[in-house]
């Protein structure tokens, strides 16, 4: 009898085995969490499954009949946030899916699957990772704190931060446990910040976007902009869209100290007036035309939300210097600042009788030497930096000759007009003098016989008196 009871108990234990194991799952807040609950042998769709959470009762359960039940707190706007896909049951997979995970969802879950006489029980601890940025609205230069929280917090965990999927600058300060980062906001720190957490042999990650508002262009200090002599030089100063910078100011800085440079006079061709087409946050300026003396450092500044933002930039002026010798011409490419230039090359452009343009690279170097006939073609000097071409400047000998001839013709026309005008003036003076002379001659002829004029007048008076006396008689 005792032997029968022992055998029956052993068979019952074999038929009704309960396996229990604990796993950890780390997911980012707002994403979908998959809590595993699997068994090695195949199952039927008539299994009974119960998912529950500590101190929160049933999350989801299915009876053998196929009826399903959800916990009252797992619905969001009429939609259930938890699911257990039926098509996986035949594979022995009873994993629970939770959509839109929140920090409150973190905790210990229990899965109990009753398949015939086999009972599988799994314990899953869900940890929710949240990355927060404080303050949420950042202005360039403000202090910012990024925090990585895990709910529930593990006893032992490691944290690793990444910016735009790249390693973090070692100079950025982190807390002793690595769960937070404090820094001074700048545009280069804008982007996607990711916190990677390792706990219980499992890894999880969560991200948050850090947006720093300020001057977008130029994106950093002392960016160089290149312009040829006589062309239009652009100096961008564009703030983040939506900002309303006030009291904008442009200044040219004298060479010297980088920390407190003296202010120089702006070029006469400098213009910072905003056109109606410009956006309120666009405070860009231009120099038109660019002169050789206009190269140097410029500063754009404006007030935004009670804070003064400024950005320094540099205008580099390019010029081609021409030197003529016996039977040859030398062209040299000169820049007011060559600190970023790593390479020069020259491009010769020719035109056939039909006006078709063709270009070919001549040589590399800052200077090119050619015959006087070759100089009549168009020559372009291109200069490069580490990241590619920086700019170019073109020498047009034919165009310059044409401009010189036009100036000469214009001067000759002006001289001819002056001569014609002077001739007309002399002619008018001669006519006036002739008329004055005629008037003088006429007066002289009238007063040539004054005595005769007196006698004639006396005879006329005597005749009138006689006629009056005859009438009276």
Residue 299 to residue 246: CA distance in whole angstroms: 15
Name the band, by pLDDT with cuts 50, 70 and 90, for residue 10: very low
Neighbours of 350 (CB within 10 A): 13
Pick from 101-105, 312-316, 398-402: least confident? 398-402
pLDDT of residue 40: 67
Nearest to 156 by CA among 173, 176, 177, 175: 177
Strands 238-239 and 215-217: antiparallel
Name the band, by pLDDT with cuts 50, 70 and 90, for residue 279: confident
Name the band, by pLDDT with cuts 50, 70 and 90, for residue 98: very high
Residue 387 to residue 377: CA distance in whole angstroms: 30
Task: Give tens-digit pLDDT for 334-383.
Answer: 999 999 999 999 988 877 767 677 777 778 899 988 887 776 778 899 99
- What average pLDDT does the segment 18-22 reach? 61
Pick from 16-25, 107-116, 188-197: least confident? 16-25
Domains plus CATH for the chain? 22-128 (2.60.40.10), 129-213 (2.60.40.10), 220-314 (2.60.40.10), 317-395 (2.60.40.10)
Token couple for 243: 């900002």
Percent of the chain with pLDDT over 90: 43
Percent of the chain with pLDDT over 70: 81
Considering the entire predicted model, what is its pTM? 0.62
| Residues 127 and 108: beta-carbon distance below 8 Å | no
Highest mean pLDDT among 75-84, 162-171, 227-236, 452-461: 227-236
Q: What is the mean pLDDT of the chain?
A: 82
Residue 257, phi then psi, degrees to nearest 5:
-65, 140
Query: Has residue 18 got a pLDDT over 60?
Result: no
Residue 103 to residue 153: CA distance in whole angstroms: 11
Query: Has residue 250 got a pLDDT over 50?
Result: yes
Q: To which residue do tokens 């706007």 refer?
A: 77
């Amino acid at each position: 009898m005792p032997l029968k009871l022992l055998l029956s108990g052993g068979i019952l234990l074999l038929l009704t085995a309960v396996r229990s194991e604990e796993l950890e799952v780390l997911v980012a807040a707002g994403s979908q969490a998959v809590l595993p609950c699997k068994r090695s042998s195949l199952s039927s769709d008539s299994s009974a499954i119960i998912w529950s959470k500590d101190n929160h009762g049933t999350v989801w359960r299915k009876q053998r009949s196929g009826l399903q039940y959800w916990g009252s707190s797992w619905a969001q706007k009429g939609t259930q946030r938890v699911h257990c896909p039926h098509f996986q049951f035949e594979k022995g997979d009873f994993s629970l899916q939770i959509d839109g995970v929140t920090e409150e969802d973190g905790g210990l879950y229990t899965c109990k699957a009753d398949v015939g006489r086999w009972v599988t029980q799994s314990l899953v601890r869900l940890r929710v990772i949240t990355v927060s940025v404080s303050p949420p609205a950042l202005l360039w230069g403000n202090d910012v704190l990024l925090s990585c929280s895990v709910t529930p917090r593990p006893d032992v965990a490691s944290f690793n931060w990444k910016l735009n999927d790249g390693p973090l600058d070692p100079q950025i300060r982190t807390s002793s446990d690595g769960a937070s980062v404090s820094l001074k906001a700048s545009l280069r720190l804008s982007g996607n910040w990711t916190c990677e957490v390792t706990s219980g042999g499992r890894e999880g990650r969560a991200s948050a976007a850090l947006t720093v508002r300020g001057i977008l262009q130029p994106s950093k200090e002392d960016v160089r902009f290149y312009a040829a002599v006589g062309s239009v030089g652009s100096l961008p100063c564009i703030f983040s869209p939506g900002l309303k910078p006030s009291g904008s100011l442009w200044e040219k800085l004298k060479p010297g100290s980088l920390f407190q440079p003296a202010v120089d006079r702006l070029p006469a061709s400098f213009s910072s007036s905003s056109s109606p087409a410009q956006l309120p946050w666009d405070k860009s300026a231009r120099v038109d035309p660019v002169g050789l003396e206009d190269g140097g450092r410029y500063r754009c500044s404006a007030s935004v939300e009670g804070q003064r933002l400024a950005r320094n930039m540099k205008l580099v002026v390019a010029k081609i210097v021409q030197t003529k010798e016996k039977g040859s011409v030398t062209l040299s490419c000169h820049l007011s600042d060559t600190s970023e230039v790593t390479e020069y090359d020259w491009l010769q452009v020719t035109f056939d009788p039909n006006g078709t343009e063709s270009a070919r690279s001549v040589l590399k170097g800052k200077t090119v030497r050619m015959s006087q006939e070759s100089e009549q073609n168009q020559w372009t000097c291109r200069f490069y930096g580490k990241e590619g071409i920086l700019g170019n400047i073109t020498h047009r000998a034919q165009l310059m000759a044409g401009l010189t001839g036009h100036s000469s013709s214009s001067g000759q026309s002006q001289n001819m007009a002056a001569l014609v005008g002077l001739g007309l003036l002399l002619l008018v003076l001669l006519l006036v003098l002739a008329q004055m002379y005629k008037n003088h001659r006429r007066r002289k002829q009238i007063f040539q016989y004054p005595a005769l004029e007196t006698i004639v007048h006396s005879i006329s008076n005597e005749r009138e008196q006689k006629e009056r006396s005859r009438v009276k008689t």
